[in-house]
Amino acid sequence: MRIISRKALREFWERHPDARGSLDAWYADVKTADWEKPSDIKNTYANASLIGDDRVVFNINGNRFRLVVLVRYKYKMAYVRFIGTHQDYDRIDVATV
Strands 2-4 and 55-60: unpaired
Instruction: State which H helix or E strand residue 81 sits in.
Output: strand 77-85
pTM of the entire structure?
A: 0.93
Least confident of 7-11, 67-71, 92-96: 92-96
- Domain limits of the chain? 2-89
Contact between 93 and 63 (Cβ < 8 Å): no
Q: Across the chain, which distance is largest between two alpha carbons, in Å?
A: 33
For domain 2-89, give its CATH number from 3.30.160, 3.50.30, 3.30.310, 3.30.2310. 3.30.2310
Contact between 61 and 22 (Cβ < 8 Å): yes
* Residue-wise pLDDT tens digits, 26-60: 999 999 999 999 999 999 999 999 998 799 999 99
